Structure 1
Amino acid sequence: MENNNNNNTSSSKIGRRFEGKVAVITASTQGIGFSIAHRLGLEGASVVISSRRQRNVDEAVEKLKAQGIDVLGLVCHVSNQQQRRNLIQQTVQKYGKIDVVVSNAAANPSVDAILDSQESALDKLWEINVKTSILLLQDASPYLTKGSSIVFISSISAYQPPSGMAMYGVTKTALLGLTKALATEMAPHTRVNCVAPGTVPTHFASFITDNDTIRDSILGKTPLKRLGTTDDMAAATAFLASDDASYITGETIVVAGGMSARL
């Protein structure tokens, strides 16, 4: 299991904004998803984490429990209808409600140009990055509490899809529109917002961050002169999901060290 960059947030340094709340986070046993679960858990939430692999689930559950976090871990490939429904059903069976949903699952099966992409790759990109976010909320919506919060995890690539990840970027652009559309549909009882991470060294982004030339190019375009951390993304997500953002819906926060200022 990867090192989840700076996953050492101390509970003494943060509040307890999620005391008594239940948060479901998809693709949450590594990287950004794990850090989000960790942060929400430190702030008092009961967190429901998931991954395609049982081993990853077990390892992540052990780490979170060691921090005193109440956690339920389940295997869930978001494109599997039964596993997706089981994720929601098991959550409701144990906790009786859902206060927060963070849709973090994503795939990038191809580095081909858009017009060179195979249909199977296009199908997977749309299914994992967009369609399953909608289907998950269809399953979860009957159990969302008044004042609940949805957060989609998009990407800085949503604003300017990069070469080699262009179609991935396009699907992340779709999440920006989905955020606005659902914010209207789900108001006033549920808020819907989005976080667009910049470049963060995780297993998912390793083909970018492990390349010195690409990494240096990104740093050169980043006013804060560093890459992001998973904790940076977790902090922004926790803010949007919390009552501190109770008058914010339909918005996207770009967490990219100032890169968006140059787009």
Structure 2
Amino acid sequence: MQDKNFVIVGGSHGIGAGIVRRCVERGAKVTVLSRGIGELADLPGVRHVPLDVTQRGPTADELPDSIDALAYCPGSINLGPLRSVTEQTLRDDFELNVVGAVRCMQACLAGLKSGASASVVLFSTVAGQQGLAMHTSVAAAKGAIEGLTRTWAAELAPKVRVNCIAPALTATQLSERLLATDEKRQAMAAMYPLARHGEVDDIAAAAEFLLSDASSWITGQVLGVDGGLSSLRK
């Protein structure tokens, strides 16, 4: 990763910030596109560009001329029963997760194609593979992300690889209400074969692998990083 150009969208908090830290530690030149600077305030060597992906994509002058890797990290956790899901919630989740990803991918495409090879990582959810109640809106939006992963991987091969990570519940600012008490944390841990919820670095480590040359023969895949929830039963 030394001296390579990485673009991390939504890299100021949570999983995105974890990816930024790992990439910086390995010598990458990182541009972060996000609404605020968040957890990056104490991290030197990161270029921050203010961007709300629900309003627009990045412009050419906000991006490196050549892009070796792109991670699109924005997400939402809007949970609730089917009867309470509103059209506005569906539109908001789709705008953030899907339309935002398309905007950023289109803006970064020339930079991704400019070198010998490049890698893209998108984010889905365990609810895309494992049917989970109360996940109507997020499962719909992230299901679309899995579709984009495969179609972009097919369209952009062989120069650009596109993969997706599907995490389960991970301890971030976004999920703090679901892990707010010892009782909630214990109840969540009991759902997983590996007996704990995810931590940011569990996901960031997988993203680092997929963004790096170590995964140079992997494309079009959805990688579950979910403590075994999507595939195992105890």
Length-normalised TM-score, structure 2: 0.91
Q: Does 2:51 correspond to 1:51? A: no
How many Å separate the matches in 2 of 1:225 and 1:118?
A: 34
Partner of 1:97: 66
In structure 2, runs of 5+ residues without a counterpart are none
1:137 positional shift:
0.5
How many Å separate the matches in 2 of 1:196 and 1:52?
A: 23
AA in 1 matched with 2:23:
L
Q: Does 2:108 correspond to 1:140? A: yes
Query: Which of 194, 197, 219 is the equivalent residue of 2:167?
Result: 197
How many Å separate the matches in 2 of 1:119 and 1:198?
A: 25
* Correspondences of 1:49-128 after superposition (within 5 Å): 49-53=32-36, 57=37, 60-65=39-44, 70-81=45-56, 84-86=57-59, 88-92=60-64, 96-108=65-77, 110-128=78-96
117-126 or 209-218: which moved more? 209-218
AA in 2 matched with 1:126:
F
Equivalent position SS for 2:173: coil
How many Å separate the matches in 1 of 2:206 and 2:169?
A: 15
How many Å separate the matches in 2 of 1:114 and 1:23?
A: 38
How many Å separate the matches in 1 of 2:175 and 2:133?
A: 14
Equivalent position SS for 1:199: coil
Q: Does 2:11 correspond to 1:28? A: yes
Equivalenced residue count is 231
**Deviations 1:106-128 (Å, cap 9, x if unpaired)?**
134x4343453222211111111
Partner of 1:12: none
How many Å separate the matches in 2 of 1:115 and 1:141?
A: 39
AA in 1 matched with 2:70:
V
* Correspondences of 1:91-240 after superposition (within 5 Å): 91-92=63-64, 96-108=65-77, 110-144=78-112, 145-210=115-180, 212-240=182-210
Partner of 1:19: 2
1:260 positional shift:
1.8
1:241 positional shift:
0.8
CA RMSD of aligned residues (A): 1.8
